Structure 1
Amino acid sequence: MVPSGYIIRPVNAGDLAGLFALCLQAGPGFTSLQADETYLRALITCSEASFGAPDSGAKGTHFLVMEYCQTGDVVGCASVKTGVGSDAFMCADFEMSGPSHRPNALTLRRTLQGFTEVGSLFLHPAHRASGAGRYLARARYMLMATRPDLFDQPIVSQLRGWCDEAECSPFYDAIWSPRLGQTYAQTDARLARDGAGFVLSEFEGLNVPLDTLEEAARHAIGRPHDTAAGALCLLAQEGFRASSLIDMSDGGPIVLSTLGELNSAHTARQVVLMDGRPEPSAQMMLLASSSLQDFRAYVGCVSIDAQDLVICHASALNQLRASEETHFLISAPPPATPGKEPHAHTNWSLDNV
């Protein structure tokens, strides 16, 4: 029996229904995944333009979906955006200030101008046990390795902040509910649609002493949502580091890196694919095409020898649309951290400083 795998590819207009269903699974607070068809159509159009003409400008959105080969269902997504924080779509975050070991205040600033952002990482809960999520995350870095000239800027990832069992953000409720008069979900939707300009126009430079916040709000600073803790662990293993910034809306962590520091990008190497039956000891790996415009990646069990010859099933080659002219990349997985629990790096909140 040929084991099922996953294909990762650029989103297209035919994915609208599947992507909408995925957004419903993601729930509130996932700013870049809004369950709104108008928003998603615009996202798909922007991504198709970015893949179709990657050299047309400094700003672009490369949105990927993960498809389960056995059913054809869209079960995950991830994205890479370039030129974020423009005047047309501003970014704003809180910067922590005070002693490095114990910040004492937050200041709202315009941030991340011209950065490359990796985000929108989400995998349907039914597929998380397969381990496919870590490969979906790494596919973004393999995509960036196809065109370092486009993505070689400071790289940022912003993670959803902690919410309680009712999906309420104590950080948002303490700082923004009385100032904006909107719910967390309403503000999140507007930030996704319009950027942070409407907040900066009135509140840029807002200073919030931490001792004025209730304990629940302070506890949420730099703390990821429970569903984002695993993603933060993967980012740390890949080469991202903590920053002094936190998400404006819910206080989630913001981490930074560069393309040269990302394990999957700097260890990527070309391999040759061959149709065959992988050995019984074959392990799940990520194979990615080396072309940005024709980018596709496969997650499944393959064998690889010392000469970088990769043996995989014909079904995988078909999914990758492999030909003699197509070059493929593989990279070493991020090194594990000996003696650490899987999520040992995930809590970068004030509780740990």
Structure 2
Amino acid sequence: MMTIRPVEAGDLMDIMSLADKTGAGLTSLPTHRDVLAARIDRSLRTWQGTAERAEQGYLFVLEDSERRKVVGVSAIEAAVGLNEPWYNFRVGTLVHASKSLNVYKAVPTLYLSNDHTGQSELCTLFLDPDYRHGTNGQLLMKARLLFMAAFRQHFAQRVIAELRGYCDEQGHSPFWANLGQHFFSIDFARADYLSGTGSKAFIAELMPKHPLYVDFLAPEARAVIGKVHPHTEPARAVLESEGLRYQGYIDIFDGGPVLEAEIDNIRTVRESRLWVTALSEDAGPDRDAPWYLLANDDYPAYRVVAAQPRPERDRLMISAEIHASLRLSPGRQVRAVPVRLPSGTA
């Protein structure tokens, strides 16, 4: 059984192993033991209610319960930019015009922005490549949305997701090579690492505050503005199916897009509903039955699984195994939402 749950202190070594597999670009999951341990501790204090608003963040893990192994992580930051400035580039337009010369030209620009300050963020999504099949990716990504639906009071009105930008198999980022490297004089991997470990003051110190002309960048850099890493394309498709949209903001390092939406307009938040559970005595689920994500809505002992329950009037029939995985007894409420799986993945 694959189960989403809150991170625990004992998950550190498994998460370290996952971090080793991410490659460049996932700044919030660096291969740094002390940073990851601090991240876990911050998450634990958030669930315990002792973290200040500016540092609140929820880290979830996907556990293979048979192997007792963490095989994926995902997270929510409650409010970004309250401790340190939250930087993006806003893709804008500057118009140059002269009536006397009959010239009118709209020029695309990049402006350093803090516009997302205080908003909630979906972040730190990574699934072990060996588990990228079936419902695992949907479970890892959308469990956070069910959590936001159940505990709406802990989050801002608007949510963002800053997606990993394009880089090649050698970790070369065309956007960084043509822009950031000129101001920081360090390679992409180093800048990426510093940002991921919390050393972000250099961004404000070294990045220019005036607008940058996109046309001055090399064609290969312009081509990747708002483009995601090939491994991130499935995640982008899922987020866009949930209603998040690119609104012209990009990551300052790799040019990856920022998707955003009002939380209450996100499909999983909007369409999830509560059911009373009942014990199913069937031998097994119908292979053709639709998949659901099921969450127990227990804040300190949160659990989410993917299953094929049977709706029956006002009840949701689920197996004893699913009840146990959710730490629920029959007759309790469960939050459920249908999963939209790409063809051939179930």
After TM superposition, the score normalised by the length of structure 1 is 0.87
**Maintained 8 Å contact 2:93/2:108:** yes
* 2:11 corresponding residue in structure 1: 15
2:252 to 245, 248, 252: 248
Distance (Å, rounded) in 1 between the aligned partners of 2:41 and 2:79: 17
C-alpha spacing 1:150/1:54, structure 2 compared with 1 (3 Å): farther
1:81 equivalent in alignment to 2:77: yes
Deviation at 1:203, TM superposition (A): 2.1
Identify the range of structure 1 (36-45 vs 272-281) with the bigger mean alpha-carbon deviation: 272-281
Cα distance, 1:253 vs. partner? 0.5
Shift of 1:269: 1.0
Do 1:9 and 1:296's aligned partners in 2 also have CA atoms closer than 8 Å? Answer: yes
Following TM superposition, by how much is the alpha carbon of 1:56 offset from its aligned partner in structure 2, in angstroms? 5.5
Displaced runs of 4+ in structure 1, greater than 6 A?
none
Q: TM-score, normalised by structure 2?
A: 0.89
Distance in structure 2 (CA, Å) of the matches to 1:103 and 1:264? 38
Letter of the structure 2 residue corresponding to residue 92 of structure 1: Y
For 1:57 and 1:107, locate their aligned partners in 2 and report how far apart those are by CA, in whole Å. Answer: 28
Residue 309 (str. 1) matches residue 316 (str. 2): yes
Instruction: For structure 2, list consecutive stretches of 5 or more residues without a partner in the other structure.
Output: 96-105
Pick one of 292, 298, 305 that aligns with 2:299.
Answer: 292
Q: Contact 1:237–1:334 (CA<8 Å) still a contact in 2?
A: no
Match of 2:23 in 1: 27
Question: What one-letter code is carried by the residue in structure 2 that aligns with 1:27?
Answer: G
User: In structure 2, what is the Cα distance between the partners aligned to 1:61 and 1:103?
Assistant: 38
1:330 matches 2:336: yes
Give the Å deviation of 1:14. 0.7
Give 5+ residue unaligned stretches, structure 1: 343-353
2:127 maps to 123
* Partner residue in 1 for 2:236: 232
1:225 CA drift (Å): 0.4
Deviation at 1:26, TM superposition (A): 1.2
The 5 A counterparts of 1:93-242 are 93-98=88-93, 104-194=108-198, 196-242=200-246
Counterpart residue number, 1:90: 85
* Letter paired with 2:295: A
Distance, in Å, in 2 between the alignment partners of 1:106 and 1:73 is: 43
CA distance in 1, matches of 2:109, 2:52: 41
Q: Identify if the C-alpha distance between structure 1 residues 191 and 179 changes in structure 2 by more than 3 Å, giving closer, same or farther.
A: same
Q: CA RMSD in A?
A: 2.4
Deviation of 1:334 (Å):
5.6
Identity %: 26
- Aligned residue identity for 2:298: S
How far off is 1:54 after superposition? 7.3
Structure 1 residue 326: Cα displacement: 5.1
1:325–1:17: structure 2 CA closer, same or farther, 3 Å change rule? farther
Shift of 1:305: 2.5
After TM superposition, give the deviation of residue 195 of structure 1 in Å.
5.4
Aligned mates of 1:335, 1:284 — CA distance in 2: 8
Does 1:52 find its partner at 2:43? no
Q: Across the two proteins, how many residue pairs are aligned to each other?
A: 331
Would you say the 8 A contact 2:164–2:256 is kept in 1?
A: yes
Amino acid at match of 1:265: V
SS in 1 for 2:308: strand
SS in 1 for 2:132: helix
Compared CA separation, residues 283 and 72, structure 1 to 2 (3 A): farther
Counterpart of 1:42 (choices 25, 31, 38) is: 38
How far did residue 90 of structure 1 move? 2.0
2:98 match: none
Within 2, Cα distance between the matches of 1:84 and 1:235? 19
Counterpart Cα distance in 2 of 1:43 and 1:326: 33
Cα distance in 2, alignment partners of residues 114 and 224 from structure 1:
24
User: Residue 324 and residue 335 in structure 1: after superposition, are their counterparts in 2 closer, same or farther (change >3 A)?
Assistant: closer
Aligned-partner residue type, residue 303 of structure 1: R
